[in-house]
Amino acid sequence: MKFLCIAATALATAQAFTTSPAAFTTAPTAPALNNVFTDAGAAHRTRRATIVMDGKANAIRDRITTVNNTKKITSAMKLVAAAKVRRAQDSVMATRPFSETLQAVFGGLIQRLGGEAADLPLLTQREVNKVTIVVITGDRGLCGGYNSFMIKKAEARIAELKGQGIESDLILIGKKGASYFKR
């Protein structure tokens, strides 16, 4: 091992003191002098800075890696949450034909029964005095846009009903909505 170190040192020393013209050859000087000011920004663009704070560069790199991994996990969780919301919306939309059919059946019953429909409480038409609004929000984070959207929609509906002179009650599902409407 010592022999290799000595040989490498001797070789480096011999190359430093060589007299061959190839050892002293450099890049052509004229174009380099002309490009000194035009390519000044190129050196800065290709240079990579290393941030060292108290010799903890590895800790900083690890922290950056951890933050990037957390970003990836969060974005994946957002995609999963969006898919779940989309699936829930699709299932709600799938119940619309059922409710429309139910309304048609009740409408047909009212027409067939004529004056006898007043005896059935489900088939009587009444003036709306009070409405119950169900607001479903999340309990924790990762759905801030959804929570704020639902709260804004609920507030808009409450204001609309107040404008019509109709009283409204709220049923709140989820901590975010409950904490907002408690204020």
Find the catalytic residue in 143, 154, 158, 172: 143
Rounded distance between C-alpha atoms, residue 160 and residue 154, angstroms: 10
- Contact at 8 Å (CB) between 182 and 172? no
- Looking at this protein, which amino acid is placed at residue 122? L
CA dihedral 136, 137, 139, 142 (to 10 degrees): 140
- Check if 143 is active-site: yes
Residue type, 158: I
Angstrom distance (rounded) from CA 25 to CA 55: 39
**What residues act catalytically?**
143
